[in-house]
A = this chain, B = another copy of it.
């Protein structure tokens, strides 16, 4: 179950990394590096913080091959895609990866019997970190800090939904779908409705 989620999240984030790196006109090594770091960054931080060894991409070496393969076949695929699609596919894969990784982080933290607020923070960190690294490597201010639209907040809400479903005794797969679906859905909704987070109220003069 968790394996399927992880594969989905890896593919989604790897593609978002490919698109972003291709836009920067990186060479093939750079494109692979960005895809690799985006796909594995969040999960690696999760495993280090939760003390899970071997790391998920060490345990499942096929994940590394998967990203290597995506880099090779990604080029003609992206070539087929018209430019105005790139933005949408990018946003969609990014939202999918966010939701799936957030729930996987929360599920593993819950299995380690951590307190609820920590479960939620682990979910948020796991979901957000891969995308942050992608943007840092591409020399951008991370999306999560830059646009004033909900990103980490979606993962935050989704993780509480996941915990809620789990608390009322729902089937694990149902809790996962609810949590990941809420996160991804909220993010896509926020993008299409152009929701804004209110700035932090302050009265200091500058």
- Point out the residues of chain B lying under 8 angstroms from A203, CB to CB: 78-79
B residues near A204, Cβ cutoff 8 Å: 22-23, 78-79, 81-83, 86
Q: Which of A176-206 contact B (CB under 8 A)?
A: 196-206
Inter-subunit contact B153/A200 (CB<8 Å): no
Chain B residues lying within 8 Å of A51, measured Cβ to Cβ, are 53
A30 within 8 A of partner (CB): yes
* CB-based contact A75/B199 at 8 Å: no
| 12 further contact pairs, Cβ within 8 A, besides A22-B200, A58-B115 | A22-B204, A23-B204, A27-B197, A27-B199, A29-B144, A29-B153, A49-B55, A54-B114, A79-B201, A79-B202, A82-B205, A86-B204
